[in-house]
Amino acid sequence: MPSNPHIIIIGGGASGIILVRQLLHFHPSAHISIVEKKNPWGAGVAYNTPYDFHVLNVRAANMSAFPGKPDDFVNWLKEKKLPYSGAGFVPRKIYGDYLCELAELPAGKKEQVRFIRDEALRVEKRLVHLASGETLRGDFIVIAAGNFLPTKPAAVRDEIAQDKNYHPDPWNYTDLENIGPAEDVLIIGSGLTMTDVALFLHHRGHTGEITSLSIHGFAPEVHGTHISPNETFRDEMRACETLSGYLRTWKKYAASGIGAESLAASIRPFVQELWLKISIPERRQFIEHLRHFWGTARHRVPEQCFSVLEKMQPGQLRFIGGRIKVIGKSAGRFEIFYVPRSYATTTSVKAHHIINCTGPSLHYEKDAPVFLRTMLEEGLVCRDPLRLGLDADSTGQLINPKGGLHADLFAMGSLLRGTLWEITSVPDIRVQAEKLAKLLLGL
């Protein structure tokens, strides 16, 4: 391995920027090129919102970019004289500013770290071809291309998807501005993206009905104020070897009166360890039957968002569980036919607009950036057995379709969902970035 390898990072979101900082921490003259096609450095999709009411769903105290400096973000807030404590939920755009500042390197570093505003179009062995025509040659390539737009649900036919009132991108607020305040809206999905959109509509003075339709119909739960991890539960979980062991232990503690939020918080830093221990069929079982329950226990909304959602219910905002069968349109309104969760007969809801809030797409063959789709088509990389991301080992080193490890290709963040499960948020990304930086630098 060269003593100072050239590392190319595709994607300048949180993962890419945190990796740059880790590489420079371990090797002050590391040679890096980072390519970002459109977003401000560090912002990605998550922190690229202009609205104060879109806040982090993790407390500030747990949002440092560096595992070794847990107070880094809170100290940054203090330095900027911003009125947020470690226990608070800070506007995401402020977190975007923090990450953007991490991308501002001292003048002396500008030659060794190139921030390239361009799109990666093709990856070949150690080469990255950019839309501008430039080709980068590196020793290692790290794919940190993150969260893709939600995939189009199968029940949304092309003719509906092309309608101007069908909104495929829930993060495109300019497009959502076209929704009239008195119009009825159907949101497909009930998670954090739905929450973002409901808050957006609320703050614009929306008076029309908003229906959230998802498979289970769960409404988001609120972050509790006094959550203390239970160490005995955590240790018992870590001693288990099977999914049924995890479930038995969880149920035992839940029956003793400990809430799902405390249980989830107790094992949160160890989820990757628990995931890596169980077999692929067990992981599949978890995804099929338990993923939504885990998601509701773990992905909570801050009180300030929850209280707005509560105020909107049940008069304006309602949650229904069911599976969409077909969508029609007549007299300026969509009619969404769905089979309710109770398996009653098909019923329908009408709306002027449909917003796809099903979360970042896992359908890479259709929705991933073109360079990644080509890599999949050409058999350079492959999907993990659960098809949640790319196949890789636990460090992020990518695996080829024959099962061999690529010596020079790595992935970060949500691309590793199948391998590590909990790897999409900053507390996990920063740990991966530190480990990956050491690995790439041969430390």
Ligand X SMILES: Cc1cc2nc3c(=O)[nH]c(=O)nc-3n(C[C@H](O)[C@H](O)[C@H](O)COP(=O)(O)OP(=O)(O)OC[C@H]3O[C@@H](n4cnc5c(N)ncnc54)[C@H](O)[C@@H]3O)c2cc1C
Residue choice 7, 20, 21, 39 for contact with ligand X (CB under 6 A) = 39
* Interaction between residue 414 and ligand X (CB under 6 A): yes
Could you give the C-alpha distances from 146 to 11, 184, 375, in angstroms and in order?
7, 32, 16
Nearer to ligand X, 184 or 428 (CB): 428
Q: Which is nearer to ligand X, 5 or 150 (CB)?
A: 150
36 belongs to the binding site for ligand X (CB under 6 A): yes
Task: Name the residue among 35, 33, 27 with its Cα closest to residue 2.
Answer: 27
Q: Least separation, in Å, of the C-beta of 341 and ligand X?
A: 26
- The nearer residue to ligand X, 147 or 419, going by C-beta atoms, is 147
Among residues 73, 246, 371, 421, the one that binds ligand X under rule CB under 6 A? 371
Q: Does 144 bind ligand X (CB under 6 A)?
A: yes
> What is the H or E stretch that residue 193 is in?
helix 192-203
Number of residues counted as binding ligand X (CB under 6 A): 34
- Residue among 45 and 102 whose Cβ is closer to ligand X: 45
Tell me how far apart the alpha carbons of residues 380 and 401 are, in angstroms, rounded to a whole number.
Answer: 7
44 forms part of the interface with ligand X (CB under 6 A) = yes
Does 145 bind ligand X (CB under 6 A)? Our answer is yes
Instruction: Give the residue with the Cβ less far from ligand X, 39 or 249.
Output: 39
* Alpha carbon distances (Å) from 275 to 51, 243, 286, 382, 394: 35, 9, 10, 20, 11
Cα-based distances in Å from 227 to 183, 259, 260, 264? 39, 9, 10, 10
User: What values do phi and psi take at 176, rounded to 5?
Assistant: -70, -20
Binding to ligand X in span 113-142, by CB under 6 A: 119-120
Which has the closest alpha carbon to 219: 254, 184, 195, 197?
A: 195
Interface with ligand X, residue 146, by CB under 6 A:
yes
- Contact segment (CB under 6 A) with ligand X among 33-41, 307-315, 317-325, 328-336 equals 33-41
Query: What single-letter DSSP state applies at residue 153?
Result: P
**Using rule CB under 6 A, residue 413 touches ligand X:** yes
**Looking at beta carbons only, is 69 or 289 nearer to ligand X?**
69
3-state secondary structure of 291: helix
For residue 313, the tally of other CB atoms under 10 A from its CB is 13
User: How far, in Å, CA of 29 to CA of 112, rounded?
Assistant: 7
Which of 320-328, 377-385, 394-402, 420-428 is the region at the interface with ligand X (rule: CB under 6 A)?
420-428
Helix (H) or strand (E) holding 175: helix 173-176
CB of 62 to ligand X, least distance (A): 8
Binding of residue 424 to ligand X (CB under 6 A) = yes
Q: Which of 289, 354, 293, 284 is nearest to 326 (CA)?
A: 354
**Rounded Cα–Cα distance for residues 204 and 190 (Å):** 20
Nearer to ligand X by Cβ, of 15 and 33: the residue is 15
| Residues 187-246 within binding reach of ligand X (CB under 6 A) | 193, 196
Residues 52-71 that bind ligand X (CB under 6 A): 56-58
Identity of the residue, 145 or 409, whose beta carbon is nearer to ligand X in the bound complex: 145
Using CB under 6 A, which of 8, 10, 176, 420 touches ligand X?
10
The stretch near ligand X (CB under 6 A) out of 258-266, 315-323, 374-382, 421-429 is 421-429
Q: Tell me the torsion sign for CA atoms 155, 159, 165, 169.
A: positive
State the residues that interact with ligand X by CB under 6 A.
10-16, 35-39, 44-46, 56-58, 119-120, 144-147, 193, 196, 360, 369, 371, 413-414, 424-426
